[in-house]
Amino acid sequence: MAARYRLEPKHKQVTYLCPRGCDKISNARAKAFSALAVVLLVCSSHWALAESNSASALSNEELISRLQAAELFTDHQSQNLGQAPRLLPLGAPVNIGPREYPIFIDAPVMAELVRRGAGALPALLDHLPDARPTKIVFGMAPRAGAGRTVVSGDDYDCRYPSKDRQPAGVNTKERDSLGGDGTYCIKVGDLCYIAVGEIVDRKLYVVGWHGGGGAWPMGAGLGAKIVAIDSPVERPSLAAAARADWGGLTAKDHEQSLLDRIALSLNGVQVDLEAVDRLLLYYPTSGLRVVEDVLRRNGNAWAKDALVKELKPFQTPELNSMLYQAYKEAVAAQNADLRTQPAGTWDPGVASLGSMLPSDCARLLIHQGHDDEFRAFAQDRIARIKEADKHSPERPAQNQPAPGIDTLRIVHLYELGFYKDLLEQLDGASQPKTQASTVADEMPKATRGAHVTIESIEHGGGGYGPLVVHFGLSETAASRVRAARVVVTRARDDAGVILEQTAEPRFSYITVGRTSDDVMTALPPPSLSVSLTSPSRPAKNLAILEGWLEVVVPDLDRYAVATVEHVKAKVGKPVDSEAFLRLGMTIKVFDRGAGERYLKDEVGPGMPGLVITEQDLAVLIKDEKGRLVSTEFRSRDGSPLRYNHNGWAHYGSLPGTQLDIYRFEESLPVDAQMVCLLATPGALIVAPFKFTSLALP
């Protein structure tokens, strides 16, 4: 009989210091190093159109049929996955590989299938043998003497830990060749298998692989060595095992299976956060009970901190009350430990001082009646850490992980950053400001004659989150708008869950790759839409949606469009433009020769992959205020040239410098012009909005 989760009066407490503490030190070191280094980033993006129909209105069968449109998702670099939710319906990317080496795909309807929980399981289990192909194909590298082979495996994450309750015919370690041409196309049944794992909190992955070259998703350029394809389509034993474990599962059974996962970890330091996420999503009452028990009884500050970081999508008044109590207890623990420390010291090796639990709790409770208390707390911690740095001697270089590196001071710097961020949030909006939105801080906050409307709300796709809000703007013809962005400062559903933007609000995104034939003749049209993380399952309305809409209307300011005539004649020197000068920008244009000289004289070695050919034109942009919206090349009369407007490559460095390379199908005409759209204050319309009680789809 399965163990039942019970709230016992006492739980064993385990001291746990080294692993998390070591992680914290290495993370801090990495952060410190990155702040000093010039970072070069090559961004790529794959854009997918949102589903025309709301996914929530479709049946399970219709959603499963749409899995055939799934394809490889190549924009994971822009998603900031380190801060992404774990659970798919909350905005996590779809992963078909192990978490250690994820492979992300674009399959928006999977979020809706997983959101339905136990109710979607019967259809998903029925379709495990579904051999309909998707657009995801893996190409295997040749092996010495063996050619290209695809190997089938049967690795399976069982429902029950007891050996006598596990299905037969899986985890045999047997590997069979699938034959064929050395490629494998992911099937609909494979994605159903992954969705089952998402719902029941089991690692049901189709692709088993590790880094190091050997096979790769075709067209993705990702190095990998595939150990085996664990497909229920190719291995019926996997489908049979999943049906044996999860067939006939009721909502009550599902809830208990998640509670049993917590029961296995609650008495220790680590808590199964994946199971907690699912309980809060599917069965909030049980989820809150578990959270309360962990916060009240688990004696490890770092374990509690990890749990608190998971709770942002699920905030409710009951949960916030628990968080405030956890905050007060964590502050009291810090104060008690500080009294045992020598005066003027702050040792992050002490669990309460190394954990950011008080700060993380406070972040989730900003603007809820405790701001003055949080502000005094953060200021006190900043002062204490700075005082500790004054009195701590520099450590000898031979005792450091690298010459000249003081680990203690690096960790102090890391912690100071958290407390300073908390102060900034207390003094600002209800959500952290993004780097992109700082541009808007210099603009007027509102423009007369502009009124924002809601055009529609839908569960969207494209990998950017499950809820998309489309806006309208009165008093301004859509044809006049050349660029737009939406900045959301507050969003909460009627169950108390906070929603966040899934990407930084920007007028345009750095992309590469041909996403459609349209991109060969023009830039993408402006979008008056925003993508948000998912509302809670029981929510019926958006209780509040607040922020502002910014649009660039070039006909309002003659300096909003800078046209550089005969751009090829400007190669190798700063472009002379009054518009650029007024905004503090500088732009240089390079052909192959000028570009190679620039790289040799100004950059030096160390930029792998950066090549400028005879068909290219490179644009070096220094734009620290983020005013440049887009760059286009046109013929002398202003008609469009045919080339990939997304660009061939984009190299960005900090702060505010970017090198864009455009590759043309034919040599650029001598009299071609470069047209730059600029977000000048005069061309910008800023329209605040605040909506309440918006019905969810």
- Residue 344 corresponds to which amino acid? G
Q: Is the pLDDT of residue 373 over 90?
A: yes
Regarding whether 153 and 63 lie in a shared domain, the answer is yes
Asked whether residue 8 is domain-assigned, the answer is no
Q: Looking at residue 117, what is its pLDDT?
A: 95
Q: Is the pLDDT of residue 64 over 80?
A: yes
Instruction: State how far the Cα of 590 lies from the Cα of 661, in Å rounded to an integer.
Output: 9
Regarding whether 300 and 223 lie in a shared domain, the answer is no
Asked whether residue 109 is domain-assigned, the answer is yes
Residues 6+ apart with CB under 8 A from 400: 406, 407
Q: Is the pLDDT of residue 220 over 70?
A: no
Given pLDDT bands bounded at 50, 70 and 90, which one contains residue 326? very high
User: Which of 377, 394, 427 is the last residue before a domain boundary?
Assistant: 427
Regarding whether 579 and 553 lie in a shared domain, the answer is no
Interhelix angle 18-36/407-427, nearest 10 degrees: 80
Regarding whether 475 and 348 lie in a shared domain, the answer is no
Regarding whether 497 and 570 lie in a shared domain, the answer is no
Asked whether residue 30 is domain-assigned, the answer is no
Q: Is the pLDDT of residue 403 over 50?
A: no
Regarding whether 688 and 665 lie in a shared domain, the answer is no
Given pLDDT bands bounded at 50, 70 and 90, which one contains residue 421? confident
Bigger pLDDT: 504 vs 329: 329
Asked whether residue 37 is domain-assigned, the answer is no
Regarding whether 230 and 87 lie in a shared domain, the answer is yes
Q: Looking at residue 12, what is its pLDDT?
A: 28
Convert the pLDDT of each residue in 610-642 to its tens digit. 678 888 888 888 887 778 888 999 998 888 888
Regarding whether 172 and 66 lie in a shared domain, the answer is yes
Given pLDDT bands bounded at 50, 70 and 90, which one contains residue 401? very low
Residue 194: give the domain boundaries: 58-249
For the chain, the average pLDDT equals 76
Q: Is the pLDDT of residue 451 over 50?
A: yes
CATH of the domain at 491: 2.60.40
Convert the pLDDT of each residue in 276-325 to its tens digit. 999 999 999 999 999 998 888 887 777 888 889 888 888 788 899 999 99
Alpha helices in 541-692 (DSSP H): 578-582, 592-598
Convert the pLDDT of each residue in 645-692 to its tens digit. 888 887 765 447 888 888 888 888 889 999 999 988 888 888 889 999
Regarding whether 579 and 618 lie in a shared domain, the answer is yes
Residues 6+ apart with CB under 8 A from 680: 557, 559, 560, 579, 582, 583, 627
Regarding whether 626 and 553 lie in a shared domain, the answer is no
Closest CA to 264 of 194, 340, 160, 353: 160
Q: Is the pLDDT of residue 76 over 50?
A: no
**For every residue of 324-366, which 3-state class applies, written as one string?**
HHHHHHHHHHHHHHHHHCCCCCCCCCCHHHHCCHHHHHHHCCC
User: Which of 427, 462, 479 is the last residue before a domain boundary?
Assistant: 427
Asked whether residue 147 is domain-assigned, the answer is yes
Asked whether residue 10 is domain-assigned, the answer is no
Closest CA to 515 of 74, 70, 103, 51: 74
Regarding whether 421 and 451 lie in a shared domain, the answer is no
**What percent of the chain is predicted at pLDDT more than 90?**
28
Q: Is the pLDDT of residue 34 over 70?
A: no
Bigger pLDDT: 571 vs 150: 571
Q: What would the mean pLDDT of 377-396 be, rounded to a whole number?
A: 80
Asked whether residue 343 is domain-assigned, the answer is yes
Asked whether residue 537 is domain-assigned, the answer is yes
Regarding whether 304 and 413 lie in a shared domain, the answer is yes
Q: What would the mean pLDDT of 126-133 be, rounded to a whole number?
A: 97
Q: How many domains does the chain have?
A: 4
